[in-house]
Chains A and B, each alone.
Chain A
Amino acid sequence: MFELLGIPPQALFGQLLLGLINGSFYAILSLGLAIIFGLLNIINFTHGAQYMLGAFVAWMLLTYFGVPYWGALLLAPVLVGIKGVIIERLLISRLYHLDHLYGLLLTFGLALIIQGLLRNQYGISGLPYAIPPQLSGGQNLGFMFLPNYRAWVVVASLVVCLATWFVIEKTRLGAYLRAATENPTLVGAFGINVPRMITLTYGFGVALAAFAGVLAAPIYAVNPNMGADLIIVVFAVVVIGGMGSILGAIVTGFGLGLVEGLTKVFYPEASSVIIFVIMAIVLLVKPAGLFGRTA
């Protein structure tokens, strides 16, 4: 049996698969971030908090209302999305004419508030959320044991990402969106309600984050800090993919999951920093990101 850099190929396969699973979280999250940035020009720093909120809402739905996982998978993104819409209307919409910096600072502040409130209410140890019975157990793939739930995560996120990409790139609605990104005034002149479209887009981006949160709830501990450090990483993913590029966000999300997975085998301590090394290199070599258009 040949070995690759001292690692048997089966083990490597397993690690790559795990990388892909983590990549699916990066992909959904960075997709939402990229859509919001593309259309609103806002760097949505609350994205991590909204992801966390998705997991929390799923937990609350189950605990207080008895809504099971599958219901939460639909309901939680809608609820968190509505909250996003309210925030956009009340606060963010007043900042579009300003520098990026202000949007970033505002959403950073909002993230602190949301995290702080939940921390006060639910503490920090995390709340248990069980894997839905339909997806418990797993498959023995020969080279590794793959829990059914993880397989579901990859499939669900691939479907959601591709559907979103399809809507934006291939449908009329998507065409309006892309046009509004280029020139809102002109699109408005065609009788399209641009502000409403922007609000809904923000809501959708937020809902994506919450969707990722619900997906994550059964695997990671549901706690108020679960999105805090993730946001920086996801943000790096978006930058590497090319700010505002939908396809870039998806591909880079999965790709960096793989790279991170490999790092965990060869130099585990560095797995949290590898993404930033890649980001620095990409920005210096290809400033607009891997998939971005050079302005």
Chain B
Amino acid sequence: MKNTGFLLASLAASLMATSALAQDISVKIGVLNDRSGIYSDITGEGSVIAAQLAVEDFGTDKGIAVEIVSADHQNKPDVGSNVARQWYDTENVDMIADVPTSSVALAIHEITREKNKVHVNSGAASSDLTGSACSPNTVHWTYDTWALANGTGGAMVAAGGDSWFFVTADYAFGHALERDTTAMVEKSGGTVLGGVRTPFPGQDFSSFLLQAQSSGAKVIGLANAGGDTINSIKQASEFGITQGGQSLAGLLMFVNDVHSLGLDVAQGLVLTESFYWDLNDQTREWSTRFEEKTGNKPSMIQAGVYAGTLHYLKAVEALGSKDDGAAVVAKMKELKTDDPLFGQGEVREDGRKVHDMYLFRVKTPDQSEGPWDYYETVSTIPAAEAFRPLADGGCSLVQ
């Protein structure tokens, strides 16, 4: 569970003697994610590198020495909670970052509260983290099911896609995504004609897609993730679903999924993300640094790990202490966030980080100017509207 750890302590420590900031805090950050399974490309080692970049950019001259460790939770809550306990109990880890897969994230979330440490989640989708299960020790950074549903669901209805059929992965995450999107579609005046629950993980979606096709819905919402999404999109193109006038909405898709599908198949898809490498000069510059180390452009999750880690370190610096997890998170909420990737924003009372979300459309092969040039921005959803209103989440921290 050690390794990949790297120490910037020595330099900082040697400077300490002369530094006016005689704080001398050493912080240990654990990046816990999927390093071998379906989310290893969008999280994995890339998230570790993102965290390292955050430490570099935070600077070594502030009297805070940072060590980073990492581990694989294999998308299993038991493996993840085991690692988290061990990190907190025996290895003095102060903050756990990333944690994709909602079931694992909820487990880490609970343990972090119990041990009064800090969890900055970037990878998981569950909006419960800042809703019914919210905790004073967790910040949920990048996205959640509500924001995705709001972005894609709302935009599709506004664009005329007012009747929906869901192809939903049959597990809690898929159900949550379907639930949130249904609410959004109906709120915007659309109707949901039906849905089908598909065994997870699945290979062949043709049968379900055919059911979706015969429903006559204008939009087929894919409430699934990873390999399921890739397979359903691939097969939808094979069966000529989009040519038939129906559109596909990938409710949780990442730029890496588009990369894997290829533009031939993925073109025209509409999806919601909170980050894209080609948004502005700052994101481009950072993504180039990231690509030099990993060979890939960053996913929004990896970007979230960077930004979350940076903000965490700023809070520790401002507080002058790392020991009380709840206090650090309170400080994170008090300080406005500002980083090159998500711009300015804030962490809300319920732990939800809010920033703009973007609705993207995947380019056609002709429009694309080269590798990783995949998205055109359809619209920007301002931070204030992008996430679930504070009062609706049912979070006990909100008075």
A221 x B234 contact (CB < 8 A): yes
Compute how far the CA of A150 lies from the CA of B37 in the bound complex, rounded to whole angstroms.
29
A220 x B231 contact (CB < 8 A): yes
Compute how far the CA of A76 lies from the CA of B214 in the bound complex, rounded to whole angstroms.
37
Compute how far the CA of A123 lies from the CA of B227 in the bound complex, rounded to whole angstroms.
12
Question: Which of B5-13, B144-152, B198-206 is the contact stretch?
Answer: B198-206
B214 x A128 contact (CB < 8 A): no
B230 x A271 contact (CB < 8 A): no
Judge whether B291 is part of the interface by a CB distance below 8 angstroms: no
Compute how far the CA of A21 lies from the CA of B207 in the bound complex, rounded to whole angstroms.
11
B198 x A268 contact (CB < 8 A): yes
Compute how far the CA of A113 lies from the CA of B214 in the bound complex, rounded to whole angstroms.
43
Name the A residues within 8 Å of B240 (CB-CB). Answer: 138, 145, 147
Q: Tell me the chain A residues, 1-52 only, with Cβ under 8 Å from chain B.
A: 8, 11, 14-15, 18-19, 21-22
Compute how far the CA of A223 lies from the CA of B226 in the bound complex, rounded to whole angstroms.
11
B238 x A147 contact (CB < 8 A): yes
B389 to chain A, nearest CB (A): 33
B203 x A220 contact (CB < 8 A): yes
Question: Which of B54-62, B261-269, B344-352 is the contact stretch?
Answer: B261-269
Count residues of chain A with CB under 8 A from any CB of chain B: 41
What sequence of 0s and 1s flags, for each residue 39-60 of chain B, a beta carbon within 8 Å of any chain A beta carbon?
1111000000000000000000
Compute how far the CA of A153 lies from the CA of B19 in the bound complex, rounded to whole angstroms.
71
Compute how far the CA of A127 lies from the CA of B262 in the bound complex, rounded to whole angstroms.
9
Judge whether A179 is part of the interface by a CB distance below 8 angstroms: no
What sequence of 0s and 1s flags, for each residue 111-153 of chain A, a beta carbon within 8 Å of any chain B beta carbon?
0000010010001111110110000001000001101011000
A11 x B214 contact (CB < 8 A): yes
Judge whether A219 is part of the interface by a CB distance below 8 angstroms: yes
Compute how far the CA of A272 lies from the CA of B227 in the bound complex, rounded to whole angstroms.
16
A23 to chain B, nearest CB (A): 11
Compute how far the CA of A270 lies from the CA of B197 in the bound complex, rounded to whole angstroms.
9
| Residue from the list A125, A130, A230, A265 in contact with B41, Cβ < 8 A | A125
Known: A131-B238, A138-B239, A268-B199. A14 touches B210 (CB 8 A): yes
Judge whether A178 is part of the interface by a CB distance below 8 angstroms: no
A126 x B197 contact (CB < 8 A): no
| CB closest residue in chain B, given A8 | B214
Judge whether B388 is part of the interface by a CB distance below 8 angstroms: no
B361 to chain A, nearest CB (A): 20
| CB closest residue in chain A, given B40 | A124
B203 x A226 contact (CB < 8 A): yes
Q: Tell me the chain B residues, 206-236 only, with Cβ under 8 Å from chain A.
A: 206-208, 210-211, 213-214, 226-227, 230-231, 234-235
| CB closest residue in chain B, given A14 | B210
Judge whether A269 is part of the interface by a CB distance below 8 angstroms: yes
Name the B residues within 8 Å of A124 (CB-CB). Answer: 36-41, 227
Compute how far the CA of A19 lies from the CA of B206 in the bound complex, rounded to whole angstroms.
9
A-B contact pairs, 27 of them (CB 8 A): A11-B214, A14-B210, A19-B207, A22-B204, A124-B227, A125-B41, A125-B42, A125-B256, A126-B260, A127-B260, A128-B261, A128-B262, A130-B264, A145-B240, A147-B238, A150-B238, A219-B238, A220-B231, A221-B260, A225-B38, A225-B227, A261-B207, A268-B170, A268-B199, A268-B208, A270-B199, A272-B199
Given A18-B206, A125-B226, A265-B211; 6 other pairs, CB 8 A cutoff = A19-B207, A126-B230, A128-B260, A145-B239, A147-B239, A149-B238
Which 7 A-B pairs give the minimum distances between C-beta atoms? Answer: A272-B199, A128-B262, A125-B260, A264-B207, A125-B41, A221-B230, A123-B41
Chain A residues in the interface with B (C-beta under 8 A):
8, 11, 14-15, 18-19, 21-22, 116, 119, 123-128, 130-131, 138, 144-145, 147, 149-150, 219-221, 223, 225-226, 229-230, 261, 264-265, 268-273
Chain B residues in the interface with A (C-beta under 8 A):
36-42, 170, 196-199, 201-204, 206-208, 210-211, 213-214, 226-227, 230-231, 234-235, 238-240, 244, 256-257, 259-262, 264-265
